[in-house]
A and B are shown apart, each in its own frame.
Chain A
Amino acid sequence: MNKAARLTTLDEQAIEYIAIGAAVLGTGGGGDPHVGKLIAMEAIRKHGPVRIVQLEELDDEGLVVPVSMIGAPTVMLEKIPSAEQLTKPLDLMERELGRKVDAVMPIEVGGGNSLVPVIAAAQRGIPLVDADAMGRAFPESQMVTFHLEGIPCSPVAMADERGNSALMHTIDGVWEERMARALTVEMGGSASICDYPVSGAQAKQSAIGGTLTLAYEIGRTLFEAKQEKLNPVQELLTKLNGHALFHGKAVDIRRRMDGGFTRGEAVFEGTGENKGKTMRLFFQNEFLLATVDDQPLAITPDLITLLDQDTGMPVTTENLKYGARVTVAGLPCDDKWRTPKGIETAGPRYFGYDFDYVPIETLVLKGGAAQ
Chain B
Amino acid sequence: MTKVTMTEPNTNQVYRIGIDVGGTNTDAALLDSNLHCVHKVKVHTTADVNEGIVEAVRRLLQESGVNGAEIRYAMLGTTHCTNAIVERKHLGRVGLIRIGAPATTAIPPLAGWDESLRTAVGPHSYIASGGYEYDGRKIASLDEAEIVELANRMKGEVDAVAVCGVFAPVNRDQEKRVGVIIREVLGADMPVTYSSEIGSIGLLERENASVLNAALLQVIAGVVRGFEEALNGFGIHAQLYICQNDGTLMKSEYALRYPILTIACGPTNSIRGAAHLSGLTDALVVDIGGTTTDIGVLVQGFPRQSSAAVDIGGIRTNFRMPDILSIGLGGGTIVRLDGADGVTVGPDSVGYDLTTRARIFGGDTLTTTDVAVKLGRAVWPGTNADAVDEAVCHKVDAVMQQSLEDAIDRMKTSADLVDVILVGGGSLLVPETLAGASRIIRPDNYDAANAIGAALGEVSGESERIYSLDDWKYDDVMQDAKESAVNEATAAGANPETVQIVSVEDIPIAYLPGNALLVKVKAAGKL
Contact = CB atoms under 8 A, between A and B. Distances in A.
A161 B102 contact: yes
Interface in A24-81: 34-35, 38-39, 41-43, 71-75, 77-81
A263 B370 CA distance: 51
A74 B101 contact: no
Interface stretch (A229-237, A320-328, A345-353, A358-366): A320-328
Contact of A319 (B133, B166, B308, B513): B308
Interface stretch (A126-134, A254-262, A289-297): A254-262
Interface string B477-513: 0000000000000000000000000000000111111
A257 B111 CA distance: 33
Interface string A256-300: 110011100000010000000000000001000000000000000
B3 interface: no
A262 B413 CA distance: 20
A333 interface: no
A251 B415 contact: yes
B139 A161 contact: yes
A248 B111 CA distance: 37
Interface in B107-136: 107-108, 111-112, 131, 133-134
Contacts of B511: 71-73, 75, 181, 184, 189, 260-261
B134 A75 contact: yes
A91 interface: no
A78 B201 contact: yes
Interface in B191-225: 201-204
B9 to A, nearest CB: 51
Contact of A80 (B100, B411, B510, B515): B100
A79 B111 contact: no
A74 B413 CA distance: 24
Given A78-B202, A79-B167, A41 B111 contact: yes
B278 interface: no
Contact of B513 (A161, A185, A256): A185
A6 B175 CA distance: 47
Nearest to B510: A262
Nearest to B409: A323
Contacts of A261: 510-511
Interface of B is mostly: loop
B203 A80 contact: yes
B387 to A, nearest CB: 32
Q: Which of B104, B112, B137, B518 has the largest number of chain A CB atoms within 10 A?
A: B104
B412 interface: yes
B133 A80 contact: no
B181 to A, nearest CB: 23
A275 to B, nearest CB: 14
Contacts of A319: 307-308
A39 B414 CA distance: 38
A32 to B, nearest CB: 9
User: How large, as a class, is the contact surface on chain A?
Assistant: 35 or more
A276 B512 CA distance: 40
A321 to B, nearest CB: 7
Contacts of A185: 512-513
A119 B107 CA distance: 11
Interface in B138-154: 139-140
Contacts of B137: 188
Contacts of A86: 106
A72 B133 contact: no
B377 interface: no
A83 interface: yes
A89 B203 CA distance: 24
B305 to A, nearest CB: 13
Interface centre among A79, A184, A261, A324 (most CB of B within 10 A): A79
23 contacts: A34-B316, A38-B112, A74-B510, A78-B202, A79-B104, A79-B166, A79-B167, A80-B100, A80-B103, A80-B104, A81-B103, A83-B106, A85-B102, A162-B103, A163-B102, A188-B134, A252-B414, A255-B508, A256-B508, A260-B512, A269-B415, A319-B308, A323-B411
The 5 closest A-B pairs by CB, nearest first: A161-B103, A72-B511, A80-B104, A188-B133, A257-B508
Given A42-B107, A75-B512, 19 more contacts: A41-B111, A42-B108, A74-B509, A75-B134, A79-B166, A81-B104, A84-B105, A85-B102, A161-B139, A162-B140, A188-B134, A249-B409, A251-B415, A255-B508, A260-B510, A261-B510, A262-B510, A321-B413, A322-B414
